[in-house]
Amino acid sequence: MAGEFFDDRETRAPEAREAARFDALPKQIAHAKETTRAFAKILGDADPEQVNSREALAELPVTRKSDLVDLQAENPPFGGLSSFDAGRVARIFASPGPIYEFQTERPDFWRLARALHAAGFRKGDVAHNSFAYHLTPGGWMMDSGARAIGIGVIPAGVGNSEQQVQAIQHLKPSGFIGTPDFLKVLLDKAEEIGADCSSIDKALVSGGALFPSLREEYTGRGVRTLQCYATADAGLIAYETADEDGNPNPGMIVDEELIVEIVRPGTGEPVPAGEVGEVVVTLFNPDYPLVRFATGDLSAVLEGESPCGRTNMRIKGWMGRADQTTKVKGMFVHPSQVASVVKRHDEVARARLVVEREAENDVMTLVCEVEGGAEGAGEALAEAVAESLQSACKMKGRVRFVTPGELPNDGKVIEDARSYE
């Protein structure tokens, strides 16, 4: 892949890129203030013409993804952060929270084409897209990026693994797009039923961590797998690249069409390069002009330039959540969802959702404090709590009972016990 770039912006001198961004930023700040109710209020008396450096940008307030539920409740449908009203967008989505997002008619609205190109996808390829298309934006995000390149898309969505494998065998897509775990589900199903999925030799995954052992397994099965970091709000934030042998280069390259800052969690203060902090983005999208939007994700700047030849800032990729919101199987799980489960069952005093990895899959267990622990709870309560958990989080999880006082008194509602090393 070395030497093959999406456009010439990827190889600009870093000084030229920085100058171009901060020449354009004052106009974008002015646009955000003029066209959105929220940023007119959030940015207050800030003079857009003065926001022409990273230091000046760091003086502006941070808007947090965790605030979106309240902002959208107060000012529906999009919290006043959009330049468009609901009747002028192309599609509207609902994510857990609930948080409502949108897509306009702007080509490649989320800018995923760049990441797909870096992963080896080219015009004329066919991609099997296993991100969900129903209500959530994931499927449409990758779909629009693929179509911008000229890639044929199989809109597979989630579930129905046997039917998906049959489609792969017949249509012979050259690439897979989806969450890191689901590719294994499909490859295992293909082996189980004797189907041929060997046409897939590359994959771009997102929506969760690609653990090293899983990447190695995919490589051993003939699929070169890279990942990207994207959100429904910001679109593509960063993406992996590969060397000539298909091995991932260190870190992730930041996209060309936004500014990334790494700040101390809970503040807007940038941290030194290499220190882990919260990812904050400023977009140049005129339809959704987010300014200093804190994603809630943790990462760190990786100093130096990538050996692939791209010269933009690198980050270490997704390193967990700054708050307790956790991504499981590509879906966010919020502390409020865990709290809603507890409220449904008077027998449960406290609960903690523990997320782990088993057999290369995300597994979540709701540990509940009840009188008498496991012996005093009974199967009926376990089944009822499991149903409530699935209803609240839209995913199945296990339930385990402990006696009151066994859970640590540390304020945690969600514990991410997965290793990201």
Q: Is 70 exceeded by the pLDDT of residue 226?
A: yes
pLDDT of res. 326 = 86
Question: Is 214:180 a contact under the CB 8 Å cutoff?
Answer: yes
Give the confidence band of 330 by pLDDT, cuts at 50, 70, 90.
confident
Q: Is 341 left (phi over 0), alpha (psi -120 to 50) or beta?
A: alpha
User: Phi, psi (5° rounding) for residue 188?
Assistant: -65, -40
Residue 396 neighbours by CB distance under 10 Å: 12
pLDDT of res. 298 = 87
Question: Is 64:280 a contact under the CB 8 Å cutoff?
Answer: no
Q: Is 60 exceeded by the pLDDT of residue 224?
A: yes
Place of tokens 């919020």: 334
Q: Which of 38, 56, 55 is nearest to 47 (CA)?
A: 56
pLDDT tens track for 81-93: 999 888 889 999 9
Give the Cα-Cα-Cα angle 98, 100, 104 (nearest 5 degrees): 165
pLDDT tens track for 292-313: 999 989 899 999 999 999 999 9
Q: Is 60 exceeded by the pLDDT of residue 139?
A: yes
Give the confidence band of 334 by pLDDT, cuts at 50, 70, 90.
confident
pLDDT of res. 398 = 96
> 112-150: string of b/e by CB count within 10 Å (b at 16+)?
bbbbbbbbbbeeebbbbbbbbbeebbbbbbbbbbbebbe
Q: Is 50 exceeded by the pLDDT of residue 3?
A: no
pLDDT of res. 421 = 62
Q: Is 70 exceeded by the pLDDT of residue 1?
A: no
- Average pLDDT of the segment spanning 155-165: 95
pLDDT tens track for 387-405: 999 999 999 999 999 999 9
Crossing angle for the helix pair 180-193 and 161-171, to the nearest 10 degrees:
80
- Average pLDDT of the segment spanning 215-232: 96
Give the confidence band of 332 by pLDDT, cuts at 50, 70, 90.
confident
- Average pLDDT of the segment spanning 63-71: 91
Q: Which of 291, 364, 359, 357 is nearest to 334 (CA)?
A: 364
pTM equals 0.81
Q: Is 60 exceeded by the pLDDT of residue 362?
A: yes
Q: Is 50 exceeded by the pLDDT of residue 336?
A: yes
In this structure, of 30-34, 223-227, 273-277, the range with the lowest mean pLDDT score is 273-277
pLDDT of res. 63 = 95
pLDDT of res. 411 = 64
